[in-house]
């Protein structure tokens, strides 16, 4: 099985300097690529001078995560793409368990490893943790992470199990499946495009897994921190995009209506916290969603929409009202 590890970069020289050594040391069986999104720093020169075995793909512009990978992967020949953030430190033998799983199960299309926090190495990291899921209203959550509540890793998710979505911070996907799905939706630009990709894969009958035996450490927030209003804008808008595209029509309209109400509550909460930029980010997200609703609706595929796409009815109610912070407790309610 030929694996290509593809690291998308934009002005990330310092990140490449910090985290490329682990990738090079522990990925001897894979081809390594750096896909550069028209950086203006010395990223490309740094890689060329210090890692001549790494193949450079130079994208013509900074099209964000979605377009960046779509453009770059056209130039990569491999059975499996590993999409790896530039701020990820990998560990010894991290590729072996995932390669083994994909070799043994042809119906598994996408896999993610255990994602731990680089700064608190015994805790799960926000982007992906131990595998992604959705609630009934399309809010994403993870085993090991509910909103900002991160669990300590004490072996509670040391398994290989099916999940709903895999994180774009470290995602393995069969190249033929990536092409079948048409890659990422470039209208997302960044954030939650992996949720949409995985949801579309699920609607087509593909399986997605988490493998704890493979472990990486993620810095997180190197592109946009969780407190950046632009991230708030993209997350709120893109989540509505995914609901529009991936649920049956009647169900989608019901969920969107409820989400718009809850988004309004979230905006008011930001006002009371004096985070006015985040409140305006939600307003901008809704306006962008309204403008692009028709184009998103036309992207809906003629698929057998899966109806059991969620693990809990409302993560908002469970977390903010019932004060649940752990996935294991959440799924018992």
Fold of the CATH domain 3-218: Spore Coat Polysaccharide Biosynthesis Protein SpsA; Chain A (3.90.550)
Question: pLDDT tens, 258-311?
Answer: 999 999 999 999 999 999 999 999 999 999 999 999 999 999 877 678 888 999
Q: What is the mean pLDDT of residues 229-250?
A: 95
- Range of lowest pLDDT (151-165, 217-231, 272-286): 217-231
The predicted-structure confidence for 167-191, as pLDDT tens digits, reads as follows: 999 999 999 999 999 999 999 998 9
Q: For residue 223, is pLDDT > 60?
A: no
Pinpoint the residues of the chain covered by CATH 3.90.550.60. Answer: 3-218
Query: pLDDT value at position 332?
Result: 80
Residue 222 has pLDDT above 80, yes or no: no
- Element housing 281 (H / E): helix 276-298
**pLDDT at res. 270:** 95
Tell me the three-class secondary structure of 191-254, residue by residue.
CCHHHHHHHHHHHCCCEEEEEEEEEEEECCCCCCCCCCHHHHHHHHHHHHHHHHHHCCHHHHHH
Helix (H) or strand (E) holding 59: strand 55-59
Q: Is 31 exposed, middle or buried (0-12, 13-18, 19+ CB in 10 A)?
A: middle
């Amino acid at each position: 099985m030929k694996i290509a590890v593809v690291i998308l970069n934009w002005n990330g020289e310092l990140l490449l300097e910090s985290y490329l050594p682990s990738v090079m040391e522990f990925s001897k069986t894979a081809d390594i690529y750096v896909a550069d999104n028209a950086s203006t720093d010395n990223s490309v020169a740094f890689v060329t001078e210090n890692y001549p075995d790494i193949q450079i793909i130079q994208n013509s512009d900074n099209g964000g995560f979605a377009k960046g990978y779509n453009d770059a992967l056209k130039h990569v020949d491999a059975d499996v793409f590993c999409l790896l953030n530039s701020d990820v430190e990998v560990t010894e033998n991290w590729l072996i368990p995932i390669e083994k799983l994909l070799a043994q199960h042809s119906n598994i299309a996408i896999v993610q490893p255990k994602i731990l926090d680089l700064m608190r190495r015994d805790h799960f990291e926000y982007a992906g943790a131990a595998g992604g899921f959705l609630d009934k209203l399309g809010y994403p959550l993870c085993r090991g992470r509910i909103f900002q509540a991160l669990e300590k890793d004490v072996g509670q998710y040391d398994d290989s199990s099916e999940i709903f979505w895999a994180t774009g911070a470290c995602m393995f996907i069969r190249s033929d499946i990536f092409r079948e799905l048409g890659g990422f939706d470039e209208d997302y630009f960044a954030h939650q495009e992996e949720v949409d990709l995985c949801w579309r894969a699920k609607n087509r009958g593909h399986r997605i897994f988490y493998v704890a035996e493979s472990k990486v450490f993620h810095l997180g927030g190197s592109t946009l921190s969780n407190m950046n209003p632009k991230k708030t804008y993209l997350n709120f808008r893109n989540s509505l995009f995914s609901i529009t595209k991936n649920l049956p029509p009647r169900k989608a309209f019901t969920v969107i209506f409820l989400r718009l109400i809850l988004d309004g509550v979230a905006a008011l909460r930001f006002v009371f916290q004096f985070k006015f930029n985040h409140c305006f980010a939600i307003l901008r997200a809704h306006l962008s969603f309204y403008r692009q609703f028709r184009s998103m609706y036309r992207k809906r595929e003629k698929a057998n929409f899966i109806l059991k796409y969620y693990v809990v009815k409302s993560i908002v109610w469970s977390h903010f009202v019932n004060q649940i912070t752990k996935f294991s407790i959440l799924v018992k309610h």
